[in-house]
Each structure stands twice: as structure tokens, then as C-alpha cells.
Chain A
């Protein structure tokens, strides 16, 4: 069990480009969360999955953001037509619903939009 893995760790992109991040949860964890964190702030909820089903998507999330978890294992978060305001740390976390109450976090992907 190697923990929650996120790739890439850092991404620099030009405004208007699309980016995709990957999260590999702890194996057998059925729940997966995505959060966004800006400097000095708390994690802001984006979306979460139970197995492959997306249970909730934040109303703050624009249509440029989409997330998938096609086989109930790894997940991807795509941001289309990136804007400078998208620059942040994107955190992924996982848990085994019914066994854990807390979530286990990855190290995050830091996105810089220039």
C-alpha cells in the first residue's frame, strides 16, 4: 500500500491550454475526492466519487472542469481552457466508505497557469 499517488506533481501551462491530472487512490478505497487549495487557504471541495459514480460536483466548479473515475480505481481531473485563476494545488484523497471516516491525501499537483 503506497498511499495516494498524484501525477504530475507540478504542471506549468499557458493560459487557454487544457490540462489533465491523475490520481491513484489507495487500493480498494471506494471513495475518491478532489479538492483545490490556494496559498494559505483550506482545501475547497470540487467533486467526489463512490466507485465510478460521481456523487457530487461543487456548484463553484465551472463547466471547464470535468472529472472521471471510469473503472472505480484511478481518477482524472481535466481543466479546459485554463485561466490564471486556476493556478492552485489540486489535492486528491481517498477512503474506504464504511471502514474509514477520514480521507487519506496525496501530495497534490501544483498547477501554474502563465
Chain B
């Protein structure tokens, strides 16, 4: 069965600095997708960034980028120029083609002014 592991329950970063959130996953599939979702306090989950496993190029969305290491089954999220609005729970998620999405336990990110 596929699993997603986030080893950092909480992290803090100074405003305007860069932070990296870690995620590892386990799968025997070759065709799959990885995601980072953000869940602000008392607000709904929104997609931050998506990575297709067949793409070697790391995905980037403005200040958010990933480091996708397929052989190591690692998928980290880098947030550059951290802003107060980035404070939230961040969930790493996995799905194989046509299947359900499974989530890690999350990392709570604090932004220090």
C-alpha cells in the first residue's frame, strides 16, 4: 500500500526567509502524481503545487517550488520569501493514476514576523 510520510510536525521560519518542508512516499507504481496542499486555520484545503512523476523537471509556482527525487521517493516543498499568509498546515499527497489521493500527517508552518 502506498504511504506518505511527513517527518516534521512543525516548522518555523522568519518572514522573507526560505523554508523547506520534507515528504517521502512509498509506492511500487511508476505513473503517479504528487501534491502539496495548504490548509490555513479554519479554512479549506487548497492546492499549492503539483508534480507528475513522469516529468523530470521540478514544478514551480511563483514562490513555491519542489525538489522531486523519484529514485529516493522524496518530494520536498520550498517556500521562498516567506509571507505571513503562508502560515498554515501543509500536506503532502500522492495518487497513482486513476486512484484515490492519500495524504501525509502534515507539517504546521509558523511564520515569525
For B43, what are the chain A residues with a Cβ–Cβ distance below 8 Å?
107
Pick 26 A–B contacts, CB within 8 A, sort by A: A33-B100, A33-B101, A35-B103, A41-B105, A41-B106, A42-B103, A42-B104, A42-B105, A42-B106, A43-B103, A44-B103, A45-B100, A45-B103, A56-B100, A93-B45, A97-B98, A101-B50, A101-B52, A101-B95, A102-B33, A103-B101, A105-B37, A105-B44, A107-B43, A107-B44, A108-B44
Produce 1/0 per residue, A78-114, CB < 8 A to B. 0000000000000101000100011111111000000
Distance, CA A18 to CA B72, complexed state (A):
46
In this assembly, does B75 line the interface, its C-beta being within 8 Å of a C-beta of chain A?
no
| A48 CB-CB contact with B under 8 Å | yes
Task: Identify the A interface with B (CB < 8 A).
Answer: 33, 35, 40-45, 48, 55-56, 91, 93, 97, 101-108
Main secondary structure of the interface of A (DSSP, over half): strand
Q: Which B residues are in CB contact (< 8 Å) with A56? A: 100
- Interface: B87 (CB within 8 A): no
- Give the 8 A-B CB pairs with smallest separation, nearest first: A42-B103, A105-B45, A101-B33, A107-B44, A42-B105, A43-B103, A42-B106, A102-B47
Q: Chain B: residues with CB nearer than 8 A to chain A?
A: 4, 6, 33, 35, 37, 43-47, 50, 52, 91, 95, 98, 100-106, 108
- Pair A91/B45 contact, Cβ less than 8 Å: yes
Q: How far is the CB of B55 from chain A (nearest CB, A)?
A: 12
Query: Which one, A40, A42, A97, A102, contacts B50 given CB within 8 A?
Result: A102
Which residues of chain A are near B52, meaning CB under 8 Å? Answer: 101
Residue with the greatest number of chain B CB neighbours at <10 A, chosen from A41, A42, A101: A42
The complex places the Cα of A43 from the Cα of B108 at a distance, in Å, of: 14
Question: Is there an interface contact between B44 and A42, defined as CB atoms closer than 8 Å?
Answer: no
